[in-house]
Amino acid sequence: MRTCYGCDKLRNHTAEILLKFVMQTHNAFVLGNVTSEQKVLRMKKILLAVIFVLVIAIPTSAAALPPRAPAQHQAVVLSSLNALVPLGYYGNLMISNLKHAGYNVTYLADNAVTIDFIVHHLNDYDVVLWRTNTFNYVHTTYWYVGERINDATAQKYSYEYAQGWINGHAGILGVSADFFNRYFTINSLNHVKLMVFISSNGNALAPQFVTAGASSVIFCNGVISLQFGLIDDLTNAVITYLAGGQTVLTAVYNTVSPFNQGQQPKDPLDSAYSPPFWFNGNGSLTIT
């Protein structure tokens, strides 16, 4: 608890002066010959003086509380398909949990998530949460970036377009695994402690992110859907565990295990649901 000795001394000195004033006013009120109007006026002065003494004599709670430590780490939340499948309430929860863990959080959605940002700025953040999905074109899988098709990007990345590493047939730019192999080389993500990649076939890219330098990558296996909020709810569970100080391994396991342990399908032909989360890289990593 912080103590302001100068403030205490000033409060005590001021209180002594006002107390003398109150006593003098009281003596004049009791011993003097005054009219009823003067008595009322003096009583008001005494009351105001007493209230003022109490206010300055009691230290404020703000001075007694320690200052909140400023956030020193950076996190970014990317929602590439937010206009189609909004992150909504779950996004607010994820951002709140990251802030609670001490992070300044940047949030970008849809067209604000550009190819330039993916290539040049992911490494500016300690924690990257990227929520997107895939589409297929001519036997190639593409991951939506968020940026809409435009001439400037087409000209800047004309070679990548020609190679089929960037595709805009869906109206929203997508990039292939070859694009990630081209741009996410060794040490290109060496400042990223944790990447949470929420997308279908995330297991295809997670090893490349680790090779690029990310300490740990949490990803989704197989095909997922961003509709109905199930994946977002489970993602927030992972973030909540991480913000509470758990390791990547423990956070993922605690999110997945309730669906695997002791769950009995109602129908023998049904199988228990298992959230499609796992990780690559350092399982003992914490973000707090």
- Tell me the angle at which helices 248-256 and 230-243 cross, rounded to the nearest 10 degrees: 140
Following CA atoms 157, 160, 166, 172 in sequence, which dihedral angle do they give, to the nearest 10 degrees?
A: 10
The predicted structure's pLDDT at residue 220: 97
Mean pLDDT over the full length of the chain = 84
On whether residue 160 sits in a domain, the answer given is yes
The larger pLDDT score, comparing residue 25 to residue 60, is at 25
CATH value at residue 265: 3.40.50.360
Residue 284: pLDDT above 70?
yes
What's the rounded Cα separation, in Å, for the pair 191 and 121? 11
What's the rounded Cα separation, in Å, for the pair 128 and 142? 20
Q: State whether 194 and 149 are in the same domain.
A: yes
Q: What is the DSSP letter of 193?
A: S
**pLDDT above 90 coverage of the chain, percent:** 68
Q: Where does the chain have alpha helices with state H?
A: 5-31, 36-57, 61-64, 88-100, 115-120, 151-156, 158-163, 177-183, 206-211, 230-243, 248-256
What's the rounded Cα separation, in Å, for the pair 263 and 278? 20
Q: State whether 127 and 147 are in the same domain.
A: yes
Residue 68: pLDDT above 50?
no
Joined tokens for residue 90: 């779950």
On whether residue 286 sits in a domain, the answer given is no
Which amino acid is it at 1? Answer: M
Asked if residues 226 and 205 have their Cβ atoms less than 8 Å apart, the reply is: no
Q: What is the mean pLDDT of residues 145-150?
A: 98
On whether residue 287 sits in a domain, the answer given is no
The predicted structure's pLDDT at residue 97: 97
pTM: 0.74
Residue-number span of the structural domain to which 59 is assigned? 5-64
Q: State whether 110 and 48 are in the same domain.
A: no
Work out how many domains the chain is built from and give that number.
Answer: 2
Would you place residue 52 in the very low, low, confident or very high pLDDT band (cuts 50, 70, 90)?
Answer: low
Q: State whether 39 and 111 are in the same domain.
A: no
On whether residue 223 sits in a domain, the answer given is yes
